[in-house]
Structure 1
C-alpha cells in the first residue's frame, strides 16, 4: 500500500495527479502508523509526518482521523472484493474449459490468494481485521459486509443452501478471521500463510 512521494522541484503532474498521490500517501501512512501505534495511539500529526504533507492538505481530503481510517478501510475492502470477483471468474473459466475443480480445491485456491494477499499487505490487513474494532460502528459495519461476502463466496463454492450449511460458512469465515488476526497482532506472517492447510481441512470437515 506504500506510495512514493512526489519528486522535488518542478514536475509535470496535473492537479488531479498531485491530489491522488497525496491521498495515497496519507492512506498508506495511516495504515503503517497503526501497525506500530494502533488506532487510538495514532494522531493526525503522525499521519501527515509520515505522508510528508501539511495539516491543511490532510483536512482538504479528510474530515477527521476516523474519516481517513474509513477510507483506508475501504481500500482494503476493495482489495478483498476483487479477490472474490477473481475467484468467481476463475470458476467460470474452469467450467468453460471442461469442468470446474471440486469444491475443496476451489476453496483452497481462494484461501491461498486471500492469505497471501494479507501477508503481502500486513498494514492494510491490520486496518481491516484489528484496528477496525477501535474505529466505531461505521467501520465495523463495513467489515461485517465484507465478511458476509466472503461467506457468500464460500457458500457458492460448496453449494451451501441449507441453514446448517450456511452457518458452517459463517463459522469458517469467523474462524479464519480470528486466526489471521492473531498472527497479524504478533507479526508472524509465516504462521499466517501456514493457516492454509488447517483451514482447508476444516472446510472439508464442515462442508465437504
Structure 2
C-alpha cells in the first residue's frame, strides 16, 4: 500500500518557515544555510526554491509572519474597558510573552535584520509602521480621552517601541528572558503613555 502525498504548497511553506525558525534557534541566523532549513523541514532544496528565492527571503517571511502574529496577540490581549494601567500591562506582558515564545527569532529580527541591506531596512520600516499603528489604535479610545490620555503620536510610539525592543534584545543577550523586564517595561510604558498634565 502506498501513501499519497497530500501536502499542499501551504504545508511545505509552513514546514520551511518552521525549519528556518528551528535553524535560527540551533545555530543562529548568520550560520544557517538553506541546507540546514531543508534538513529541519524534512524537504528538498527544490521545494525550498519553489517557495523562496533565498535564505534571506525565507527569513523575511518568517519575521513578517511572527511580527504580524505578535501584533494580533497584543491587540487581542488589551481589554479597553479595563483601567488604563491594566491595559498597558496586558499589552506589555503579551509582547514579552510572544518574544519569549520565539526568543531566537525575536533576537535575530532585532540583531540580524540590519545585515540584510535594503531588504532588511524595508522590512524594519514596514514592521515599525505596523507596530506604530497598533500602539496608536490602542491609545485611541473615548475612555482614555476621558482621563487625559490621547492617541499617541508617531514619534512617541517609535520611542516606546524602540526602547522596549532594545531592552528585550539586551536582556536576552545577557541570558535572561523577555519576561524578566516586565516591571521596568510596564513602568516606562505607563510613564510615556500616561495622562498629560
TM-score, normalised on structure 2? 0.79
TM-score, normalised on structure 1? 0.75
In structure 2, the CA distance between the partners of 1:199 and 1:48, relative to structure 1 (3 Å rule), is same
Give the 3-state SS of the residue equivalent to 2:47 in structure 1.
helix
Root mean square deviation, CA, Å:
2.5
Q: Does 1:159 align with 2:155?
A: no
> Partners in 2 of 1:71 and 1:154 — Cα distance?
23
> Partners in 2 of 1:187 and 1:53 — Cα distance?
33
1:79-118 to structure 2, matched below 5 A, reads: 79-87=69-77, 90-91=79-80, 100-118=81-99
Deviation readout 1:37-95 (Å, 9 max, x if unpaired) = 3333211111112222121121122111112112112211221231244256x32xxxx
Alignment: residue pair count: 184
Contact 2:99/2:106 (<8 A) preserved: yes
Contact 2:28/2:104 (<8 A) preserved: no
Contact 2:135/2:157 (<8 A) preserved: yes
Shift of 1:110: 0.7
> Partners in 2 of 1:153 and 1:146 — Cα distance?
11
Deviation readout 1:86-132 (Å, 9 max, x if unpaired) = 256x32xxxxxxxx223222111111111111111223323432322
Gaps (5+ residues) in structure 2?
140-148
> Partners in 1 of 2:30 and 2:118 — Cα distance?
15
1:1-208 to structure 2, matched below 5 A, reads: 10-11=2-3, 14-16=6-8, 19-87=9-77, 90-91=79-80, 100-155=81-136, 156-157=138-139, 158-160=149-151, 166-189=154-177, 192-208=178-194
Gaps (5+ residues) in structure 1?
1-8, 92-99
> Partners in 2 of 1:56 and 1:198 — Cα distance?
47
